[in-house]
Structure 1
Amino acid sequence: MKAWRASILTFPSPGQAALESDGLLVVGPDAQGRQVVQAVGAWQALAARFADVQVEHLPGHIIAPGFVDMHIHYPQLDVIGSPAEGLLPWLENYTFPQEKRFSAHDHSAQTATFFIAELLRHGVTTALTFATSHPESVNALFAEAQQRQLRLITGKCLMDQNAPDGVRDNTEQSLIDTESLIRRWHGVDRLGYAITPRFVPSCSQAQLRGAGELAATYADVWIQSHVAENKDEIAWVHRLYPQARSYLSVYDQFGLLRPRAVYAHCIHIDDEDRALMRDTGTAAAVSPTSNLFLGSGFFDYAAADRSGFLYGLASDVGGGTSFSPFHTMLAAYYVGREGQTKAGVSLKPQQLWWQHTGGAARALGLEGVIGNLLPGCEADFVVLNPQATPLLARKTAQAGSLDELLFALIVLGDDRVIAKAVISQAEFASGP
């Protein structure tokens, strides 16, 4: 076992944080050999009990759960910051040309190495990730994640229509490849597979039907896609499925809404869609920097909470503008204030942080496994330096409450705040 002494942030209940100002986090193997939290609490209360355990003392630092990114595209690493008039031209002019390159294993492997290093540098210890339509891209990303012991979920992108040469796949072969990849990677170490139709316009009915059949056969894999991000996209889906009640309902008719199904954006949906998500256990990945950057619209937090479906935060790189969870949380705050309701909502700092940790874990069906530092949780955490910049140090020194401290970090923080990420006792230092 090993222990760390610092201020420790946990979530005793959903959306409610607690900070132990002088705490001890004790990590060791469980019966399956996973590195998990064995004990957490006040240093004074636990020190004698764990006197024989090696302790790393980190005065002035905060240990917090590793961040969970619910939706990110690793092949779009080099697309980030590309100008476009909106979602569809951005895909055509930047995204698809980049994704063609991932048919080559060497390019996929090099990008996967940089991508995962960037996740860890920003304190992200779990990610639900899009690959491309090329199996090579999936194999390279899984291999790199396995080497780093990262908990990562990804899958081959399904797109057999309305896509250019080089990224468009063959219907039958795409489903064969998907099943082969599930059998090779799902459940190996800390890896999980996600059946990944890109979005309705890119997938034929045969491909969506096959994806649903695979989802029924492999009930513990994830499903990921996009829905109701952009009004032009919605109009396109309506032309393809004129009898469908909504964009979301198309996925439902193919058996693609269920627990462990995650749909990015969910901006332009109505209460009937929200009820459908709630009743099927389907979750939303809220991507505020991407939605602002592409002018797609605002996620309606008030309606989501009223309906009661699951959601969590996501960077959505490369439509999203930063890997940083701090940037994502701040953008979510802006979106909440603007919102789709006249008054907007003021998202609380503890709630924002929860949406990017324990709340995201719950939306992925991994509550109690990741996203928190309570006993039994896997020992993925970040060490935060609240004095990382002069302005941040000045502001956090004046914090009179946990909300003020967390909000200062959200507003003023970036990758410099992440002193290091720790995964199963393997440490990854931040910095340039």
Structure 2
Amino acid sequence: MSAFALKGNICFSQGKNKISVHEQSYLICENGVCAGIFKELPEGFLHIPVRDAGDSLIIPGLSDIHLHAPQYSFRGMGMDLELLDWLNTITFPEEAKYADLDYARKAYSIFTEDLKKSPTTRACIFGTLHVESTELLMDFLEETGLKTFVGKVNMDRNGPDILQEKNAEESAKATLHWLSDTSEKYLNTKPILTPRFTPSCTDELMKKLAEIQQEYHLPVQSHLSENMGEISWVQELCPKTAFYGEAYDQFGLFGGKGCPTIMAHCVHSPEAEIELMKKRGVYVAHCPQSNTNLSSGIAPVREYLDRGLHVGLGTDIAGGHSLSMLRAITDAIQVSKLRWRLTDDSLKALTFEEAFYLATMGGGEFFGKVGSFLDGYEFDAVILDDSFYRHPQPLSVRERLERLVYLSDDRCIKGKYVSGRKLF
């Protein structure tokens, strides 16, 4: 038996509406999974190693289910632009630089070091269309010990000359090359099919990606109904589809068949699209900071939760400017309040409990039994020390957790575990 325990103030979601708090208790890890929370160590565990975190808080690791690694280098830039102008002016020229492996090595080393230090333990990540630099990103991520899905981006139309694959055949060939190179190479880093979004992928390429998905049984990540201009463009490109989601679904790239799909944003999804997402089991990656920065809008996350859709949070670097998933929790609550007050008072704002759930269990579900300390869940944990925050009044553990999330200061991160493995 391989077992150890963390001792401290333990906080975790037991569902969408409840954060369970266990003050000064022991959280036991046995063979990489959670094996219970106790005030005193049970007899069978009396001699296991214990890391005493003192008065610190211990929470499940956070899952970031949508971000772009090559964009980390220009986060916080070009934020006055809307999506399509931002892509053409800032994003595509920057991503083209990753054809140079030396540049990719510098940029990805910074990104992966910072991601390891963040509260994120699992992530779904876009690379670029370049095979070699995407493999380099996967190498770096494997070294961090984080659990990630990484995608080599596909795009064979509507890109600049410096960032577009020649045709569908070449794009599919490069994807197969990438999959062959990385097959069984990593323990923690897995491939995910990544058509950038419908405007970047011809029908022929989508068909080829669907064939690859069926052969390799891969999950899919892409973008959906983020921006009104983007949605109108998709209608022009796919006149035979009734809504954006059908542009993926017609090729079998919209969930179902044992191949889960993440669609980022879903800000302006119509009723038929929402129903299809629910039917196919699509995961919605809610990216509140990016949706604000690029003036895309506010996704109706309350409706998605109430209707039983799978929902998690994404930082969406670099549409979002902060890599901190603590900040993503805060942003999700704040934009939902604005939507409730200014747009639709029938959709109540998210509570702190619900947003914390999205960042832990909600997004963690994409990876399996992840994002909680319930028995049998994988042991992903983050130790948060808030002792440097001065305050005159006594605070409960629940109050300290809420304050810590809203202040979103990653200096508090003092320890991190993924599947029972200590990262620091």
Query: What is the TM-score of this pair, normalised by structure 2?
Result: 0.92
Distance in 1 (CA, whole Å) between partners of 2:209 and 2:247 is 13
Cα offset for 1:183?
3.8
Aligned: 1:354 with 2:357: yes
Relative to structure 1, the CA distance from residue 285 to residue 394 in structure 2 (aligned partners, 3 Å threshold; closer, same or farther) is: farther
Q: Is the 8 A contact 1:213 1:255 kept in 2?
A: no
Quote the residue 2:91 is aligned against: 95
Q: Is the 8 A contact 1:132 1:167 kept in 2?
A: no
Quote the residue 1:104 is aligned against: 100
Cα offset for 1:420?
2.5
Alignment equivalent of 2:126, drawn from 124, 127, 130: 130
Quote the residue 2:201 is aligned against: 203
Cα offset for 1:304?
1.3
Cα offset for 1:92?
1.1
Segments ≥4 residues shifted beyond 4 Å: 424-429
Alignment equivalent of 1:189, drawn from 176, 187, 190: 187
Distance in 2 (CA, whole Å) between partners of 1:58 and 1:306 is 37
Cα offset for 1:346?
2.4
Aligned: 1:244 with 2:247: no
Alignment equivalent of 1:229, drawn from 226, 229, 241: 226
Q: Is the 8 A contact 1:338 1:344 kept in 2?
A: no
Distance in 2 (CA, whole Å) between partners of 1:325 and 1:21 is 24
Quote the residue 1:160 is aligned against: 156
- 1:41-89 alpha-carbon deviations (Å, 9 max, x no partner): 1232x25431211111111111111110010000001221112321111
Q: Is the 8 A contact 1:358 1:367 kept in 2?
A: no
Cα offset for 1:425?
5.3
- 1:273-296 alpha-carbon deviations (Å, 9 max, x no partner): 111000011111000000011110
Q: Is the 8 A contact 1:86 1:294 kept in 2?
A: yes
Relative to structure 1, the CA distance from residue 303 to residue 317 in structure 2 (aligned partners, 3 Å threshold; closer, same or farther) is: same
Q: Is the 8 A contact 2:67 2:315 kept in 1?
A: yes
Q: Once structures 1 and 2 are overlaid, which stretch shifts more, 338-347 or 136-145?
A: 338-347
Q: Which amino acid aligns with 1:203?
A: C
Q: Which amino acid aligns with 2:187?
A: D
Quote the residue 1:11 is aligned against: 13
- 1:148-179 alpha-carbon deviations (Å, 9 max, x no partner): 22201011111101001221013212212222
Report the 3-state secondary structure (helix = DSSP H, G, I; strand = E; otherwise coil) of the residue aligned with 1:78. helix
Report the 3-state secondary structure (helix = DSSP H, G, I; strand = E; otherwise coil) of the residue aligned with 1:258. coil
Q: Is the 8 A contact 1:275 1:307 kept in 2?
A: no
Aligned: 1:416 with 2:411: yes
Q: How does 1:252-331 map to 2 (within 5 A)?
A: 252-259=249-256, 260-331=260-331
Report the 3-state secondary structure (helix = DSSP H, G, I; strand = E; otherwise coil) of the residue aligned with 1:166. helix
Quote the residue 1:32 is aligned against: none
Quote the residue 1:178 is aligned against: 175
Q: Which amino acid aligns with 2:96?
A: K
Aligned: 1:406 with 2:401: yes
Distance in 1 (CA, whole Å) between partners of 2:261 and 2:105 is 27
Distance in 2 (CA, whole Å) between partners of 1:113 and 1:422 is 21
Q: Is the 8 A contact 2:118 2:323 kept in 1?
A: yes
Cα offset for 1:427?
4.2
Report the 3-state secondary structure (helix = DSSP H, G, I; strand = E; otherwise coil) of the residue aligned with 2:415. strand
Aligned: 1:36 with 2:33: yes
Relative to structure 1, the CA distance from residue 350 to residue 343 in structure 2 (aligned partners, 3 Å threshold; closer, same or farther) is: same
Q: Once structures 1 and 2 are overlaid, which stretch shifts more, 19-28 or 233-242?
A: 19-28
Identity of aligned residues (%): 28
Report the 3-state secondary structure (helix = DSSP H, G, I; strand = E; otherwise coil) of the residue aligned with 2:45. coil
Cα offset for 1:345?
2.0
Q: Is the 8 A contact 1:104 1:136 kept in 2?
A: no
Relative to structure 1, the CA distance from residue 18 to residue 245 in structure 2 (aligned partners, 3 Å threshold; closer, same or farther) is: same
Relative to structure 1, the CA distance from residue 205 to residue 85 in structure 2 (aligned partners, 3 Å threshold; closer, same or farther) is: same
Cα offset for 1:308?
2.2
Task: For structure 2, list consecutive stretches of 5 or more residues without a partner in the other structure.
Answer: none
Distance in 2 (CA, whole Å) between partners of 1:376 and 1:308 is 23
Report the 3-state secondary structure (helix = DSSP H, G, I; strand = E; otherwise coil) of the residue aligned with 1:10. strand
Cα offset for 1:14?
4.4
- 1:94-138 alpha-carbon deviations (Å, 9 max, x no partner): 111110111122322332222122112221010100000101222
Distance in 1 (CA, whole Å) between partners of 2:395 and 2:30 is 36
Distance in 1 (CA, whole Å) between partners of 2:140 and 2:82 is 32
For the aligned residues, what is the CA RMSD?
1.9
Relative to structure 1, the CA distance from residue 183 to residue 341 in structure 2 (aligned partners, 3 Å threshold; closer, same or farther) is: farther
Q: Is the 8 A contact 1:271 1:303 kept in 2?
A: no
Distance in 2 (CA, whole Å) between partners of 1:186 and 1:360 is 25
Q: Is the 8 A contact 2:60 2:382 kept in 1?
A: yes
Q: Which amino acid aligns with 1:65?
A: P
Q: Which amino acid aligns with 1:115?
A: F
Q: Is the 8 A contact 2:73 2:107 kept in 1?
A: no
Distance in 1 (CA, whole Å) between partners of 2:348 and 2:182 is 41
Report the 3-state secondary structure (helix = DSSP H, G, I; strand = E; otherwise coil) of the residue aligned with 2:53. strand
Cα offset for 1:222?
1.4
Relative to structure 1, the CA distance from residue 180 to residue 394 in structure 2 (aligned partners, 3 Å threshold; closer, same or farther) is: farther
Q: Is the 8 A contact 2:303 2:347 kept in 1?
A: no
Q: How many residues align?
A: 413
Distance in 1 (CA, whole Å) between partners of 2:209 and 2:392 is 52
Q: Is the 8 A contact 1:300 1:341 kept in 2?
A: no
Q: Is the 8 A contact 1:66 1:124 kept in 2?
A: yes
Quote the residue 1:377 is aligned against: 377
Quote the residue 1:79 is aligned against: 74
Alignment equivalent of 1:214, drawn from 212, 215, 218: 212
Relative to structure 1, the CA distance from residue 288 to residue 186 in structure 2 (aligned partners, 3 Å threshold; closer, same or farther) is: farther
Query: What is the TM-score of this pair, normalised by structure 1?
Result: 0.90
Distance in 2 (CA, whole Å) between partners of 1:236 and 1:308 is 29
